[in-house]
Amino acid sequence: MDTTDQRKNWMSVVAKANFDQLKQHWETLTLNPEYQVIRPAEIGLAQVRARMGGTGRQFNVGDVTITRAVIQLASGEMGYSYLQGRNKQHAELAAVIDAMLQTEQHHRDVMELVITPLAANKQEQETLKQQQVASSKVDFFTMVRGED
C-alpha cells in the first residue's frame, strides 16, 4: 500500500501541521475509527545536534520537547507519531492518521482531504517566507572610481 518514503512524507506533514488546521481537515472526513492506545501520548526531550555552517564537527545545540504516541486500529494497523512540542492531542491524532493511511479503505480520502491540503498550505507558507526574505536581500558590491 505504501512505501517508506510516502510514509515519511505524510508523517512529516502531519507532525509539522498546525493542530487546529489538522483537526479541522480531519473532521471533514467524519471518521471515528476504533483504536487502542498502545503508548499514550507522552512528552520527552530530544537532544539537537548541529554543524557550524553545515560542515565541520557536530556539537550539541540544546534540547527540544517532543511528544510521541502509538495506537493500533481495530483492524490491526499501527500508527506512530513523533512531533515537536507538548500537544498530546496532536500526537494521538497524528498516530490515528498514520494508521488510517495504511488502510486501503481510507488511504485515498485521508490523502486528499487531510495530507494534500496541509502540504500545500505548508508549501505556500514557505514560498511566502522566501519572498519576504528575498525582498530584504542586500547586494554588496564595490564601486570603482576612475581616479587611478
Residue 76 domain boundaries:
4-130
**Residue 138 forms part of a structural domain:** no
The verdict on residue 147 lying in a domain is no
Residue 135 placed within a domain: no
Range in 17-21, 54-58, 66-70 with the lowest mean pLDDT: 54-58
Across 77-100, average pLDDT: 98
**123 within a domain of the structure (yes/no):** yes
Assess if residue 88 is contained within a domain: yes
Question: Do 25 and 117 contact (CB within 8 A), yes or no?
Answer: yes
pLDDT value of residue 136: 81
Query: pTM of this prediction?
Result: 0.83
Query: Does residue 136 lie within any of the structural domains?
Result: no
Q: How many domains are there within the chain?
A: 1
Rounded to 5 degrees, φ, ψ at 87 are: -90, 100
Task: Decide if 146 is inside a domain.
Answer: no
Does 141 fall in a domain? Answer: no
Neighbours of 40 (CB within 10 A): 12
- Of the pLDDT bands very low, low, confident and very high (cuts 50, 70, 90), residue 101 is very high
What is the crossing angle of helices 4-16 and 88-101, to 10°? Answer: 150
Residue identified by cell 501520548 is 41
